[in-house]
Amino acid sequence: MDPDHAGRAASGLAIAGIERWANRFELLSDANRLRLLLCLHHAPDISVSDLAAAVGMSGTAVSHALRLLRQQGWVAAAKHGRIVRYRLADDTVHDLLHWIGATHAEEPLGKEAAAT
């Protein structure tokens, strides 16, 4: 054994939040949760029923996954009348989604752009 080499390797563990990152990657490891995050990224302020239709899951399964994601602070909910709409709430998750190739939906043309 090379104690110096082992010591250098162990010093790499001195970063903050290892457990938190492990929990983040655990949430991302579920394909359905990742699909939901991608949908939220592409179409913010979406309802559970619309998300369920987009990913082909039941509303109950989507609600359960969203609850886990809300507990971690990854998504936020806002009530609009009787409908609850969800969006991404964590910039790091937003950046991670970009790193894996996520894009934003095309913005609708504004009045000025449509007039030209």
Give the containing element (helix H, strand E) for 75. strand 75-80
CB atoms within 10 A of CB 103: 10
Burial of residue 64 (CB within 10 Å: 0-12, 13-18, 19+) is middle
* Banded model confidence at residue 112, pLDDT cuts 50, 70, 90: very low
**pLDDT over 70 (residue 114):** no
Note the pLDDT of residue 107.
52
Cα–Cα distance between 68 and 88 in angstroms, integer? 13
Cα–Cα distance between 61 and 111 in angstroms, integer? 39
Q: What's the whole-number average pLDDT of the chain?
A: 87
Query: Is residue 43 within 8 Å of 103, Cβ to Cβ?
Result: no
**pLDDT over 90 (residue 111):** no
Higher pLDDT, 86 or 1: 86
**pLDDT over 60 (residue 11):** yes
pLDDT, tens digit, 9 for 90 and up, residues 33-65: 999 999 999 999 999 999 999 999 999 999 999
Note the pLDDT of residue 78.
96
65 Cβ contact list (under 8 Å, min separation 6): 30, 32, 33, 36, 57
- pTM to 2 decimal places: 0.77
**pLDDT over 60 (residue 92):** yes
